[in-house]
Structure 1
Amino acid sequence: MHNTFSYGTGHLTSGICLSIAAGNTQGLIDQEAAANITSSWEEVKKIVHSQQPVYGVNTGFGPLCDTHISESDTSLLQINILKSHSVGVGKPIPQEIAKIMMITKVHALAQGYSGIALATLERIVWHIDNDVIPVVPEKGSVGASGDLAPLSHLFLPLIGLGEVFRKGERISSAKMLEEHGLSPLALGPKEGLALINGTQFILAFAVKAVERLSHALDIADLIGAMSLEGLTGSKRPFDERLHQLRPYKGTKLVAQRLSALLEGSEIGLSHIDCSRVQDPYSIRCMPQVHGASRNAWLHLKELTEIELNSVTDNPIIFSAEDSISGGNFHGQPLAMAMDYVTVAAAELGNISDRRCYLMNEGKYGLPKLLTADAGLNSGLMIPQYTTAALVTENKTLCFPASADSVPTSLGQEDHVSMGSISGRKLHQVIDNLEYIQAIELLYAAQAMDFRKPLKSAPVVEACHALVREHTPFINEDRVFADDINQLHQLITSGLLLTTANEAALQNHLNLNNDDEFGIY
């Protein structure tokens, strides 16, 4: 491992965060960060000795903020907050998401405004480095006051409670500590509050969504180009001059990518003088629709990067004499963006379903239902039912969670973001989108076969060949769920996109001409 990142002093991006989670980059606490952490920790100890009331240091929490806590009980207060706030329910979140939560929490606390002990952060880094991942239930956060419930579960292992995943096994934290020769930590003043106050649950889902949707956007262009070829559509609507007249970043990028994907296609040249004036919107408007989703993704990426490098707990400790109880823990900035991007992801599925339907209609020289023997065989009639079902399910998931708020904490926390729900349902929509894209890929490959012996452009041909390695041409009905699952694996494993990028490189084609759309 050669790459390193300095918690608290480096600039974290979604790509770097994911690389740390994958074990490809080492996260470190350097001397500068250690000094900042220790300085803030010393300031909190001064607050305790001074008896100056500071929220969560020597007071109760939420509506108990006016209740004074004695100096002797400040440590017990922090242990109690982890216990009492561990109220999550449901199945565990993916281990990668929990690991990203730890990474982003360390980076926020290591900036030196949170009053946490260096030893506590070093223990969390130990969990990250050794891939010992706390079990975190998926439900229970309202996305303000911090992601209290999931973060409490995340850090129960620090005090010997809760459970962890280790080498694929789910075991008690107490057993894990014993086997590694470690002792539970004795939390000092403010440490428990610093651990659970923050947006890291929302943020972890945002980081992963930045990666997953970036991939889905690239796949949408690629499969869209294959569908266009199967439907003998025109690439004229992707002319750069057209999009300079309405120069949205996402639209221009999609038009450029589609033009590159279709460059030199024999299929395209074969109908250049045909009588068709213009294609249906699902073909012709890919730059505008896919591009709008890219613009939404770009906004999420920008906001996620800001959040990755922010301090989101409360109170913020500038010094023993200067601490501020504010609202940096409120999840609204990311909650609204993820709700917006949920619509962007769903729209990629909507337009993909329309292309599937179009290829089934028997237009433009294609046989009805993409089978030469329709009647005895149903052909590809029914896979579009699945895209229709998934598209509709996605629409039901597009209601913005951030548009709702239920007061909590006896009214002290009277407006909350519900951003945790925004993040979880965004990934549900992307899950469905990936299956919709697999089905469109099934249709597009079949449609392209009816254009033989004409060939498409090199990248499209390479991807078609990959599909045919895993799913043969459809001559008669078979269990199409098997084909769908095979193609879903090609998409989610990254193999389809890798094949496209390698073919583009071999043919000196530039599919991504803008670093702004990368995740690093």
Structure 2
Amino acid sequence: MNKVVLTGNDLTLDELVEVSRNYAKVEIDERAIADVEKSRQYVEEIVEEERVVYGVNTGFGSLSRVSISKEDSAQLQENIIRTHASCFGNPLPEDEVRASILIRINSLLKGVSGIRLSTIELLLEMLNRNVVPFIPEKGSLGASGDLAPLAHMVLPILGLGKAYYEGELLPGKDAMEKAGLKPISLAAKEGLALINGTTILTATGALVTYDAIKLSKIADIAGAMTLESSRGIIDAFWEELHTIRPHAGSLKTAENLRNILEGSTYVTHTAELRVQDAYTLRCIPQVHGASKDTIEYVKEKVEIEINSATDNPIITHEGKVISGGNFHGELMAQPFDFLAIAVSELGNISERRIERMVNTTLSGMPSFLVKHPGLNSGFMITQYAAAALASENKTLSHPASVDSITSCENQEDFVSMGNWASRKAREVVKNTARILTTELMIAAQALDFRMEMEDNKFELGKGTKVAYEAIRDKVDFIEEDSNIEMYDELEKAQTVISEDYLLDKVEKVVSL
């Protein structure tokens, strides 16, 4: 994708990823300019006529009772940026900052925020030249939006704060100048227009959602490989079984498994070796499918939010000023809490499949999938580590959105905690990716044992054969402990997921 053209109305999740991670250039659709300029004209009229409008000529939050003079209206906007930039912790990743800038530009292009076009264009140039503001990740209540982290995003525009440029963390002014950009002073309402909204939490959650979509496909591949190594029963994935309970995610998962396993002679049929499989094999469509449905729901919410105006107050296209609550993060906090649960379940069932493969009583293969167990521990502790991550995910899946702490002298008395909802969902995705990495690596080892046990007389499925080969491109069969350091092997296996190596290979032969 060479460029993304923003209108304020039709940004997609895929486009957001192209800009934030793949550095696609961004342009403004000329059709959005008229509404932006008209909205700005209304603000200038408000200032000139000294009509009382929140955030234009009043203080912020509970300080809305304080009137601000025409002469101080610009200083008010700089002050809000300086004082609201109060975050703490590790810096947000570059892709999340870039996604935040993109979403903010798109929101401002709806022409209801009263900001100058030139200020939007400066944000656009920061994005295209990859000036990445330093934003500590903690400090937002998710209402009134992401005030504190967005203030950090704006600081470099004023020649303040810090920003990365060409990989180096610099004073904001220096980063801007090295990129050939000149800091500006804000005009009336612009500070509030830039920082009032759900932008940061939505950016983080949007990227997490994109990654979760990929993980849901990887989980199907991992589950199929584990099923083959167990000589599991494919009948549980028959289409007719799922059309009588036609949840979209379950139908899609069963279809994926049938396609991935097409041509496999390692899989069995009912009563051929056993009557039924354990739930972690038999119920893959129902469990993975539930997660798929949730992830799809969250994606729909994300694509609404990245094309929304979350500022306050809003200036309508007719010039009416409305003070409302579009900045409130609850509409995204609940979906991102749900997302954490959905992805956590992919990790939970994967860890249980891992246990089935390394447990000789359940698998019929050597303990911990290594020759000469006892002298060798093989994959024993990889299951421990996966279990630790699964347990951590359970804690992280406690919803953030059910909490609220009153702020701003009780004016802002019910907040969403949406920022934490999105960040903990990010951690759940990272943990689950590692659990699935472990399952894939163990499934390849188990398939090697199964092939040996069956004298290579069976065939892998169309998709599992490609997946097995992709894993073996990165990691070898582990013969004995003395030849490896397990962490290094897991890190090599992790690239199968993180670099999209596995998905790219499998999706060339199977539609997922």
TM norm structure 2:
0.96
| Aligned counterparts of 1:340 and 1:367: Cα–Cα separation in 2 | 39
Mapping of residues 300-449 of structure 1, within 5 Å = 300-318=298-316, 322-362=320-360, 363-449=362-448
- SS of corresponding position for 2:413: coil
Instruction: Give the CA deviation at 1:132.
Output: 0.8
Mapping of residues 160-175 of structure 1, within 5 Å = 160-175=159-174
Alpha carbons 1:98, 1:133 under 8 Å: kept: yes
- Are 2:284 and 1:280 equivalent residues in the alignment? no
Task: Give the letter for the 1:7 counterpart.
Answer: T
- SS of corresponding position for 2:152: helix
Partner of 1:5: 5
In the alignment, which of 425, 445, 461 is matched to residue 457 of structure 1? 461
Call closer, same or farther: CA 1:180–1:387 in 2, change over 3 Å: closer
- Are 2:136 and 1:137 equivalent residues in the alignment? yes
Alpha carbons 1:165, 1:171 under 8 Å: kept: yes
- Are 2:501 and 1:492 equivalent residues in the alignment? no
Alpha carbons 1:361, 1:369 under 8 Å: kept: yes
Unaligned runs of 5+ in 2: none
Partner of 1:292: 290
- SS of corresponding position for 1:246: coil
Instruction: Give the CA deviation at 1:332.
Output: 0.3
- Are 2:481 and 1:482 equivalent residues in the alignment? no
Task: Give the letter for the 1:459 counterpart.
Answer: G
Bigger shift: residues 454-463 or 436-445: 454-463
| 1:393-430 Cα deviation digits (max 9, x unpaired) | 11111111111000000100000000000011101111
Instruction: Give the CA deviation at 1:475.
Output: 2.1
Task: Give the letter for the 1:370 counterpart.
Answer: L
Instruction: Give the CA deviation at 1:180.
Output: 4.5
| 1:144-166 Cα deviation digits (max 9, x unpaired) | 01100000000111111011111
| Aligned counterparts of 2:6 and 2:249: Cα–Cα separation in 1 | 32
Alpha carbons 1:43, 1:319 under 8 Å: kept: no
Call closer, same or farther: CA 1:359–1:178 in 2, change over 3 Å: closer
Alpha carbons 2:294, 2:342 under 8 Å: kept: yes
Task: Give the letter for the 1:258 counterpart.
Answer: L
Q: How many residues align?
A: 504
Alpha carbons 2:146, 2:196 under 8 Å: kept: yes
Unaligned runs of 5+ in 1: 513-520
- Are 2:53 and 1:49 equivalent residues in the alignment? no
Alpha carbons 1:7, 1:28 under 8 Å: kept: no
| Aligned counterparts of 1:4 and 1:138: Cα–Cα separation in 2 | 27
- SS of corresponding position for 2:141: coil
Q: How high is the sequence identity, in percent, across the aligned residues? A: 41
- Are 2:189 and 1:190 equivalent residues in the alignment? yes
| Aligned counterparts of 2:23 and 2:184: Cα–Cα separation in 1 | 28
| Aligned counterparts of 1:415 and 1:114: Cα–Cα separation in 2 | 24
| 1:184-206 Cα deviation digits (max 9, x unpaired) | 21211100000000100111012
| Aligned counterparts of 2:355 and 2:179: Cα–Cα separation in 1 | 57
Task: Give the letter for the 1:301 counterpart.
Answer: K
Partner of 1:469: 473
Alpha carbons 1:33, 1:111 under 8 Å: kept: yes
| Aligned counterparts of 1:312 and 1:182: Cα–Cα separation in 2 | 27
Partner of 2:149: 150
Instruction: Give the CA deviation at 1:85.
Output: 0.3
Task: Give the letter for the 2:478 counterpart.
Answer: I
- Are 2:112 and 1:106 equivalent residues in the alignment? no
Instruction: Give the CA deviation at 1:174.
Output: 1.5
| Aligned counterparts of 1:179 and 1:376: Cα–Cα separation in 2 | 59
Instruction: Give the CA deviation at 1:17.
Output: 1.2
Partner of 2:239: 240
Partner of 1:207: 206
Instruction: Give the CA deviation at 1:35.
Output: 1.0
- SS of corresponding position for 1:165: strand
Partner of 1:97: 96
| 1:360-408 Cα deviation digits (max 9, x unpaired) | 2223532222223222222222211111111111111111111100000
| Aligned counterparts of 1:181 and 1:438: Cα–Cα separation in 2 | 43
| Aligned counterparts of 1:146 and 1:272: Cα–Cα separation in 2 | 54
Partner of 1:263: 262
Instruction: Give the CA deviation at 1:245.
Output: 0.7
Instruction: Give the CA deviation at 1:253.
Output: 0.3
Call closer, same or farther: CA 1:459–1:135 in 2, change over 3 Å: same
- SS of corresponding position for 1:113: coil
Alpha carbons 1:136, 1:150 under 8 Å: kept: yes
Alpha carbons 1:7, 1:106 under 8 Å: kept: no
Alpha carbons 2:262, 2:463 under 8 Å: kept: no
Instruction: Give the CA deviation at 1:2.
Output: 4.0
Alpha carbons 2:20, 2:99 under 8 Å: kept: yes
| Aligned counterparts of 1:344 and 1:364: Cα–Cα separation in 2 | 27
Instruction: Give the CA deviation at 1:434.
Output: 1.0
| Aligned counterparts of 1:499 and 1:469: Cα–Cα separation in 2 | 11
| Aligned counterparts of 1:160 and 1:94: Cα–Cα separation in 2 | 21
- SS of corresponding position for 1:33: helix
| 1:308-343 Cα deviation digits (max 9, x unpaired) | 111000000016851110000000011011111101
